[in-house]
Structure 1
């Protein structure tokens, strides 16, 4: 047992300053995410949009799910919740009532994600889990209003911290990459090396950096195999108890380059920023010493020598023995709470590990359906199936073919221009943001056929409201399907009408 305790302490101890940097970064991402989502309050979160509440509850809801955003279908109600979330995200950013700010930010993030699952992606799951584990982490100990107010000199001398929550945080990162590698069990990932070729063949997510490397098949094969084995092997570096600082920095630098590369080649929204933020908490003490000295010391109030001396005298004077006794009792109470918290976190971590490994092809028993309610309630359910087991092949682009009262056909995606079935120069530019791109991806699946009429009617209504001089009375959502073929072959696009809607006859 002593050996096991020593192993865990050497492997899963983190620097409190690094946790604080991660807190600040994640709070900033929450604010950015709220800003992006707020541009579609009506479309994505109201009964007038693409997913009314009754449709959500009929097709996408579990009894265990929770969402304040699902209590009302008016966009004004959503706006209020968004403002509350923004306020607490700012509190988290500056470290004011940090634990409370973390809890509220997590609850409201979980709530808004549950309101519209059709626009979610893997980065959302990671952001949600990081905030969840952050509830149990003291990431307000540095670079925060709380730290300045409390003026705890002991934290100035020792910035190392270990608990069940640090184990959960590091294991969460390891699970993300190991699980996604295990799910990539097709030859295109670990033998043929064609996965990145197919990913860059998707015009819906292709970025300029991807266009530059796309013509080089050998380079793409090398990068594919490198990606697979990086995700497979890198997590184990986090579990090595010796040369801990060195291996942590290897993980941080490799994943930093990895996600910057993804952002330059593929349109993934906030996914890369969330993943980069997740590894900042791994920064070792010597690195944080330099960052603290050069960049961040200005953000926290230094503790003076005089204050330290006063604190030492207070805790040592016999005349305040009663203070010392109460302090001792307080420490015992804190130890008891810490023990309970560690047991609770350890149990939830084991639950998450079982959930993750049970989704892969490893010989691990699947989690019983009767045990999943807990995961759905607290949204501990995870599936890191990015481009797995194979990369999506049904590429193409959308045409919103509207018919005016005069019988003229216009494309709403081209600001009402003449219908043109030629592929746009940039398919990515058709999407307002990554939320709409993800929605359009889900729109393709036959199992999601229920969602199609609501989008069709929404787009027709919005067009008519904003173009009263050029209204349409009919709309067809057309997908120009261009499946990705091997060896740079180009398929002939086919026209598929996914949905057709019209104004009701008067």
Structure 2
């Protein structure tokens, strides 16, 4: 059974469509910073879904390597080394890459539905479940942007981000107002502020607060350096100024989100500065989708003036598209699975449901603030504010978060990998450079050795002594995929070598130190790890 998709009127005004006065007095002033435009929430929904699709596309290139038993983290090792009793993962139900592919296709379909605003609430909840699932399957490749993407979906479950500019909106009457306030809008704004506040508070090393050398050390990391950063690197005074500007921007700018006077102007400032900040990161440092996720997260703050302009620009295109009809299946789900409203509830039940939802969101927001306060350790000289038994909720629902980007100081153990394979004839080949003869000289662009940022993050975790258990799995995986190609000469030995080059102050260059992290030998076609 299908249902025709017909065009809906485009909302072009930020003022209420009908005269419905909002709260006045002290309460009205207090809630102003948390009132969001439904169209901004729709853009937030679409951007979140688009980033999820891009994330899935990147992850899907490593289905076997990162999510299957034949990869670098078999299920038995996952449960033995990095699993929590409170975690769940559908992706951990099978070690076959084919099962992972099916889950990835399902996640992509749900993200597409979220992008269109089709069964929006159901698509949001299911997308969140699958996102948590895939992140739990391999935490060794996660980064700070993953925490933010997860939280956007979590709060999105309680936001009306499918109320306008969506497939669902075409079958419902236009909203009486475009401005919207709830506990979920408070949670969204506070979450954005927490991200930047905690990022700054965790950067308590002297490089950020005293000497201003943090960006110098960040741009000294060849594993991260992009052409834009290479242009800035030779200018120490500029880097010092940018370091202090970054630190104080992250520490002070979020306060502008809570000012009840001139809200639209403060939002222009916050969104404009942070968009420019993350755009600058994207051309200077290799951080994967981190900058895109952060830019997407800001769209819910867009002020009505810009949204009016966008709606006006979109109106002619919508009019031209009015003649075509798209047919989508009208799924009639069992009542137990329905997350969208199918008929108008009574006034009493509506108030009861809203009160329950608002109370739940408020409790979770308080818990998230508690978690972050404990993480940054601002209010506790010793010990922890959050006792271990209280962490189960955060780990189960994945509202746990850590915003320690380049904190408390910048990582200084730079370098590059060499996968030194030895053939039966005694030749040495570097598997990290497509089997070229092994050379220990520094590559022109170290960052180009990584297939994507997931592999860069895995390689970073691979260095830590506490993660030494990872090393044999990676070594054997590299040997196996090398031998799967019949054109490759058989190897008798593989050494994973890290050429460690510590970042030094004042543009000094350290002599690289050869560190053998793991060695594998092959006998009769079988890989054996040898430390």
The answer to whether TM tops 0.5 is: yes
Q: Secondary structure at the match of 2:352?
A: helix
Equivalent of residue 312 in structure 2, options 293, 305, 322: 293
Change over 3 Å in CA distance of 1:244–1:407 after alignment to 2? same
In the TM superposition, residue 361 of structure 1 has moved relative to its aligned partner by: 3.0
- Say which of 367, 374, 385 aligns to 1:366: 385
Name the CA distance, whole Å, in 2 between partners of 1:238 and 1:110. Answer: 28
Q: 1:296 to 1:41 in 2, by over 3 A?
A: farther
Q: 1:43 to 1:166 in 2, by over 3 A?
A: same
Q: 1:262 to 1:377 in 2, by over 3 A?
A: same
1:63-89 superposed Cα distances (whole Å, 9 cap, x missing partner)? 000100001000000000000000000
Aligned-partner SS, 2:502: coil
Which residue in 2 is equivalent to 1:351? 367
Residue 164 (structure 2) aligns with:
142
2:406 is aligned with 1:390:
no
- Give how far 1:332 is off: 2.6
Shift of 1:200: 0.3
Task: Kindly indicate whether residue 286 of structure 2 is the aligned counterpart of residue 270 of structure 1.
Answer: no
Residues 3 and 466 of structure 1, relative CA distance in 2, 3 Å threshold: farther
> Which ranges in structure 1 are unaligned for 5 or more consecutive residues?
304-326
Q: Does 1:414 align with 2:433?
A: yes
Aligned residues: 480
Deviation of 1:505 after TM superposition, in Å, equals 4.5
The aligned counterpart of 1:317 is none
Q: How does 1:413-492 map to 2 (within 5 A)?
A: 413-492=432-511
The CA deviation at 1:292 is 1.1
User: Residues 426, 21 of structure 1: CA spacing in aligned structure 2 closer, same or farther, 3 A cutoff?
Assistant: same
Describe the SS at the equivalent of 1:395. strand
How does the TM-score come out when normalised to structure 2? 0.88
- Cα distance, 1:467 vs. partner? 4.2
Equivalent residue for 2:332? Answer: none
Partner of 1:66: 88
Quote the Cα distance in structure 1 between the aligned partners of 2:490 and 2:302.
57
Asked whether the 8 Å contact 1:143–1:296 carries over to 2, the reply is: no
Instruction: Go from structure 1 to structure 2 and tell me whether the alpha carbon gap of 1:300 and 1:46 turns closer, same or farther (over 3 Å shift).
Output: farther
The structure-2 alpha-carbon separation of the partners of 1:297 and 1:477, relative to structure 1 and needing over 3 Å to count, comes to farther
Asked if structure 1 preserves the Cα contact closer than 8 Å seen for 2:495 and 2:520, the reply is: yes
Alignment partner, residue 243 of structure 2: 224
Residue 332, structure 1, aligned to residue 348, structure 2? yes
TM-score, length-normalised on structure 1?
0.92
User: Could you tell me how far 1:300 is from its partner in structure 2?
Assistant: 9.4
Alignment partners' CA distance in 2, 1:486 and 1:4: 53
Distance 2:276 2:36 in 1: 22
1:331 deviates by 2.9
Alignment of structure 1 residues 98-117 onto 2, 5 Å: 98-117=120-139
Cα distance per residue 1:74-133 (max 9 Å; x no partner): 000000000000000000000000000000001000000000000000000000000000
In 2, Cα distance between equivalents of 1:48 and 1:159: 51
Which of 52, 76, 86 is the equivalent residue of 2:108?
86
**1:451, 1:300 → 2: CA distance?**
57
3-state DSSP of counterpart to 1:482 = strand
**Structure 2, unaligned stretches of length 5 or more?**
1-22, 323-342, 526-531
Q: Aligned partners of 1:328 and 1:433: how far apart in 2? A: 48
Write the distance in 2 (CA, Å) between the matches of 1:23 and 1:50: 33
